[in-house]
């Protein structure tokens, strides 16, 4: 566990192990390819997943940000 203070004076506690987006993508492809009857092709699902992960935005203190690492809790994914 680590405690990091941001420039805004907020503290972030890192306690969960995280996978990189590449690792998550590879795991998703592997799981999707094991489906017995994929109604939606794996590649289509991955394109949609990438779109969500690459465009997750949030605002804080009247500033807007795009998340560049990881996935937000409660992500639309």
What pLDDT digit, counting tens, does each position of 21-50 carry? 888 889 889 999 999 988 999 999 999 988
Indicate whether 18 belongs to any domain: yes
Indicate whether 76 belongs to any domain: no
**Average pLDDT of the segment spanning 1-7:** 45
Indicate whether 47 belongs to any domain: yes
R_g over Cα of the chain: 16
Indicate whether 34 belongs to any domain: yes
> Domain span at residue 28?
2-66
Task: Please write the tens of the pLDDT for every residue from 57-73.
Answer: 878 888 888 877 776 66
Indicate whether 73 belongs to any domain: no
For tokens 């690792």, name the residue.
Answer: 23
Q: How far apart are CA 42 and CA 30, in angstroms?
A: 9
């Amino acid at each position: 566990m680590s405690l990091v203070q941001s420039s805004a004076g907020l503290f972030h506690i890192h306690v969960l192990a995280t996978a990189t987006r590449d690792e998550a993508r590879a795991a998703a492809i592997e799981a999707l390819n094991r489906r017995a009857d994929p109604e939606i092709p794996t590649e289509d699902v991955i394109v949609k997943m990438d779109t969500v992960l690459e465009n997750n935005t949030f605002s804080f203190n009247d500033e807007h940000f795009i998340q560049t690492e990881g996935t937000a809790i409660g992500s639309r994914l």
